[in-house]
A and B are shown apart, each in its own frame.
Chain A
Amino acid sequence: MNDDEFGALLLRPLAGEPAGPPRIDVAKAMRDGRKMRRRRWWSGGTAITAVTATAIAGGVLAAATEPDKPRPDLPPDPTMPASCAVQRLPLGKHPSAEVSGGDPSGTYLVGWSDPVYGKKHAVLVWRDGKLIADVPVPGEALAMTDINGSGTAVGTSTQTPYHPYVFRNGKASRLRGGVGEAIAINDAGVIVGVLLKGDVSVPVRWATPDAEPEPLPVPAASSFDRVTDVAENGVIAGQAGGPEGQGYLWFPDGSHRRIAPPPVANAIGFVPSAFRYGWIYGAATIRAAGGAHSSLPYRYEPISGTWQPLPERTLDEPLPGAPNGLSADVLRVYVGNQRFQLPPYDPALKHGDAFVIDNAGDDARRFAGHTVSATADPKFSSQPLLWRCQ
């Protein structure tokens, strides 16, 4: 009997599978993982903090110390909905699907079927809550990220090396530029994403789905550089210029600048999540005692440089348009600078599972998201949901 056979026979009694359901808490893993990211990225960041403090004084603090100046003309917030009803979006023949993006009006939603790693996905598009496209992509499984008001969507293949894709007229095609990700598209058809060049991720803009990618200028290339969203006026938000947490803006005229952190004690960075209601919603990184870091939700109006703190959320509460975590018990979203509670989707709550909110319409009358297993239970089927509000 050789070693291989001996080993296999000897260890045979230890073979088996865990019998019980998983005791895994995915939301906690994301919370704790996010803290680990901050610890790693901000360790030794003293020099960056000093630069931040100087940069703040220009735009934001000046506004705070000159009360006589007229207030900037800020974009109006939508009115708070009075009531909402939730429906499960149609899935076609698929057992599960998730909705992962929507256009600013909330009319078009995009997602994909069977959202489990390793499975083949079909691209799904809904218009006004009706499934209008259910298209498998030969040879690739695409995770869709955004869609615009013409029904053109973008996404990325889910097997490495990732490639950015555009989906229009029922067909998916690769964007130019090679390995990378397509992250957002606006109604003008401008797509933003990143391309990988060696170990560095390069933020890029495709002026149209057929255009060559244009690299967005960054102060110093790093593997943390990325874009987050593109507004309807062409302004692009992302992170660049050092450790993750350095918010950055690129304007359609070619100018670009860092987003200085909000004027709050010990703020050392700002992580943009999404454009909504004319603002950039995101999280300010706050240096806490003992070198730890925490987050505070803020929104930033890039034209006037105005900051507004948002009602404090738990880390699990999503920012508008950005599923920054799982929402297990209370489904709250930001409408303007206030929080609004969505009614739960009862059939999913019976499983004790969680939700991800993926899209908020600019009039705060449509919200979309999906259910997700908080314990990574493989038997759970994600269901795409649409809340219509009045």
Chain B
Amino acid sequence: MDDRADAAYLDYVHGRTPALRRVAYLLSGDEHQADDLVQETITKLYARWPRISQVQNVDAYVHSMLVRVFLDEKRRGWWKVRLFGAAPEPPPDAGAALENRPVVRAALGRLPPRQQAVLVLRFLCDLPVADVAEILDCSAGTVKSQTSHGLSTLRKILGERVPARSDGSNR
């Protein structure tokens, strides 16, 4: 019986959902939105699953899908803001502590979505530049330049302060 495809899909989803939820949570900063992102990703994954055997690196492929869902969601979000006139998030307080999670999240949220994804994948998911480039389907050079632009913008938003290391120093 041709049940391998469904069975393999279920095994993949059950095995990798915790990792996908974590990345989705780091991208979105919101637990409910993270589950929505994963739900849409595994739906699209099921639609393409019959041909997944031709993919060499399934995990990278699925993470790519997840990031694309996140970027699409961001685009739809901007469209909704324009259509319904919802108030944009207030700018972060430049004087607030850099260790304050909402402050950093709000600052990150002001970056272009692709730069957000690059920074999250590199600095929160600890992925090397090459892996981020594969997930975003771009060159390593693009990842580096997006990283630089993103951090530069964050510096402008949050002020030229330097976050403290765990030992308390900031040099």
Residue numbers of A with Cβ under 8 A of B are 1, 3-4, 6-20, 22-26, 28-30, 32-34, 36-37, 40, 98, 100-101, 115-119, 143, 145-146, 155-156, 158, 160-162, 179, 181, 183-184, 196, 199, 223-224, 226-229, 238, 244, 273-274, 321-325, 356, 358-359, 372-373, 376-378, 380, 382
Contact = CB atoms under 8 A, between A and B. Distances in A.
A113 to B, nearest CB: 12
Contact of B46 (A4, A9, A30): A30
Chain B, interface size category, equals 35 or more
12 contacts: A14-B26, A18-B35, A25-B39, A28-B43, A30-B6, A37-B50, A145-B2, A196-B53, A273-B2, A323-B6, A372-B14, A376-B17
Contacts, number: 215
Nearest to A360: B1
B15 A18 contact: no
Contacts of B165: 9
B78 interface: no
Contacts of A18: 21-22, 25, 31, 34-35
A118 to B, nearest CB: 5
Contact of A273 (B1, B10, B105, B148): B1
A156 B4 contact: yes
A160 B56 contact: yes
Contact of B54 (A155, A196, A244): A196
Contacts of A20: 31
Interface string B93-111: 0000011110011001000
Nearest to A230: B1
A40 B164 CA distance: 51
Interface string B1-44: 11110111111111111100110011001011011001100111
Interface in B43-68: 43-47, 49-58
B124 interface: yes
A324 B9 CA distance: 12
Contact of A7 (B18, B25, B47, B122): B122
B133 interface: no
Nearest to B24: A18
Given A33-B43, A223-B54, 13 more contacts: A6-B151, A6-B163, A11-B108, A12-B163, A14-B29, A15-B26, A26-B42, A33-B45, A116-B15, A143-B11, A160-B57, A196-B54, A377-B14
Contacts of B108: 11, 14
Given A10-B154, A18-B21, A184 B2 contact: yes
Contact of A378 (B3, B17, B104, B154): B17
A378 B4 contact: no
A372 B13 CA distance: 11
Contacts of B148: 3
B90 to A, nearest CB: 18
B1 A19 contact: no
Given A23-B35, A160-B56, A228 B2 contact: yes
A117 B49 CA distance: 14
A9 B161 CA distance: 12
B121 to A, nearest CB: 11
B162 A1 contact: yes
Contacts of B79: none
